[in-house]
Structure 1
C-alpha cells in the first residue's frame, strides 16, 4: 500500500488516482500527523510526501520515521525551487525528490524501485 501525504487536496487526489490506476493500493493523507496516526501505518510499503506542509513538514515526517526505526522508502515532492532541497532530501534518507509539476514517468520509476518491482 502506498501512502500519499500532501496538504493540497488536488495533488493528493491526483496521486492517489494515479497510483491506483497503476494497480497499487493507495491512501491519501492531508498531513504528516494524520499519516503517523493512521491505524494502517504498519501496512504501508512506501511514502510519497510533500516537503512543505502546515504543521509537520515532509523532512520532519522523514525524521519521525527514522526515529521509529522504520525503513519505509520515502519520496519527496515539492513546488519549491531552492537548489539545496534535493541534497537535503537525499541526505535525510529519501530515495528521491520530484518537483511539481510532477514527471509521471519518474514517479512510476520511484514506486517500482521502492516496491522492488
Structure 2
C-alpha cells in the first residue's frame, strides 16, 4: 500500500454569539490540527466569507439577528456548497428537521460531544482531520 501525505490544513469557520463556546470550539479544533476563524454572528461571518475561504462552517442556531439556519439558507442562495454543522443549546425535532432538510451535514446539541463533532468534520472533509499524516490509499474515498 502506498501512503499519501496530506498537508492542507482545513479552515473551519465558527459562528456563535457565545464567546465561551467560540473559544472552546476554536481550542478543540486547533488542538486537533484545524485552522479556525471565529465570528460573533452571521453578519460578521458574511462580511469575511468568500468562495473557497473556509472548508466547513459550524454555526449556532440561536443568535441575535440572523440565526444559524437562516445563515445556512443565505449561503445556499448565494450558491455556496460549504458544509455546515448546526449546533444548539435547545434542540428540538422541528428545528433539527429544518436544519437537515436544508442540507446541514449535522445537528448537534450543546455541550457538543467532541468526538461526534470531529467525526462529522472528518466525514465532510474527506477523512482529512487537518494533521499532516499518512493515510493508506484504501482509507481515502475511492481508494
Q: Which shifted more, 2-11 or 106-115?
A: 106-115
Q: 1:68 maps to what in 2?
A: 78
- The yes-or-no answer on 1:58 pairing with 2:68 is yes
Provide the secondary structure at the position in 2 that maps to 1:62: helix
1:65–1:46 distance in 2 versus 1, CA, 3 Å: same
In the alignment of these two chains, the number of paired residues is 117
CA distance in 2, matches of 1:44, 1:16: 14
1:2–1:45 Cα contact (<8 Å) kept: yes
Q: 2:44 maps to what in 1?
A: 34
**Structure with bigger gyration radius:** 2
Q: 1:45 maps to what in 2?
A: 55
Q: Which shifted more, 32-41 or 43-52?
A: 32-41
How big is the alpha-carbon RMSD for the aligned residues of Structure 1 and Structure 2? 1.2
1:35–1:41 Cα contact (<8 Å) kept: no
Provide the secondary structure at the position in 2 that maps to 1:4: strand
| TM-score, structure 2 as length reference | 0.78
Provide the secondary structure at the position in 1 that maps to 2:93: coil
Which digits, 9 at most, give the CA deviation of each residue in 1:3-40, with x for residues without a partner?
A: 00000000001001111100010110000110010166
Match of 1:25 among 35, 52, 60: 35
Unaligned stretches of 5+ residues in structure 1: none
2:62–2:68 Cα contact (<8 Å) kept: yes
1:4–1:48 Cα contact (<8 Å) kept: yes
Higher relative contact order (CA 8 A, sep 6+): 2
| TM-score, structure 1 as length reference | 0.95
Unaligned stretches of 5+ residues in structure 2: 1-10, 128-143
